[in-house]
Amino acid sequence: MSDPRDDGPKGGRDDQMVTAEMLALFHPDPLVAEDRYLKLYKGLTLYADRHGSGNPEDAAQETILRALHHADKIDQGAEGLRRFAYGIVKNVIREQQRDDYRETARDLDPLLEAATADTSEYDKAELSFILERLRPLLKPEEWITLLRYQRERDDHEQHCQELGVTGGYLRVMVHRLRRRLEAGLKSMNISTVRRQAKRAGQAAAAGRKKE
């Protein structure tokens, strides 16, 4: 099992490793400091996992680094670092979730585009396979609202009149529908589903040739 200190956090900082000087903030004895660091790392990892982090190990490492880099502003010693770390880990998890949703939104846009356009990066069999797995996430009338909003681009006046809502309320509706689909896509792993869709399409094509 690799040392968790080898797993640098996301964020592009140059100082992604926990150094010996940082460990000394836990305890002057290197062995005791290492033990306390690992206990905090494991505790934060479990906490992040229970509270919705997509990568709890990264969340724990990033949290510890933030705590150590602000050690001059908090009480010295392991207990002070521990309290400070648990005080900021929620922010780290929220940042992870926000980034995850942004990535998922980039997956959702081509899907919605494909569902309302004649040509796309998805072939028909692949698109049908993926949408079939997303279909239960929304009611039929919600799908109609979302796809019509996607298709009509910036001209939603008639749509709003038919629904009896303002343009602002329609945008809120669509945003909420998208978030539900984004959560579904995130749990599915779009890359895996696309591979499954291609295999299913190939199998279907092979079956038609035999007939």
Q: What's the distance, Cα to Cα, between the start and end of the chain in Å?
A: 52
Neighbouring C-beta atoms of residue 152, cutoff 10 Å: 13
Per the domain annotation, does 159 fall within a domain?
Answer: yes
How many domains does the chain divide into? 2
pLDDT for res 2: 38
Fill in the amino acid letter for 128. Answer: S
Secondary structure of residue 207 in the 3-state scheme: helix
Q: What φ, ψ does residue 4 adopt, rounded to 5°?
A: -60, -20
Q: Is residue 23 within 8 Å of 33, Cβ to Cβ?
A: yes
pLDDT for res 43: 92
DSSP assignment of 99-119 equals HHHHHHHHHHHHHHHHHHSS-
Please state the pTM of the whole predicted model. Answer: 0.46
Fill in the amino acid letter for 147. Answer: L
Residues of the chain where predicted confidence (pLDDT) is lower than 70: 1-17, 71-78, 100-107, 117-123, 189-191, 204-205, 207-211
Q: Are residues 143 and 92 in the same domain?
A: no
Q: Are residues 93 and 151 in the same domain?
A: no
Q: Of 81, 97, 172, 183, whose CA–CA distance to 136 is shortest?
A: 183
pLDDT for res 190: 66
Q: CATH number of the domain at 142, please.
A: 1.10.10
Q: How buried is residue 122: exposed, middle or buried, by Cβ count under 10 Å (0-12/13-18/19+)?
A: buried
pLDDT for res 31: 84
Tokens representing 193 are 């589903």
**Residue for token pair 């899907």:** 111
Per the domain annotation, does 112 fall within a domain?
Answer: no
Q: Angle 167-188/140-152 helices, nearest 10 degrees? A: 110
pLDDT for res 106: 66
**Residue for token pair 């648990």:** 86
User: How many angstroms separate the CA atoms of 47 and 204, rounded?
Assistant: 45
Per the domain annotation, does 166 fall within a domain?
Answer: yes
**Count of residues in the chain:** 211
Per the domain annotation, does 46 fall within a domain?
Answer: yes
Q: Which residues span the domain enclosing 69? A: 4-99
pLDDT for res 12: 38
- Write the pLDDT tens digit of every residue in 82-101: 788 888 898 998 888 777 66
Q: Are residues 80 and 131 in the same domain?
A: no
Per the domain annotation, does 115 fall within a domain?
Answer: no
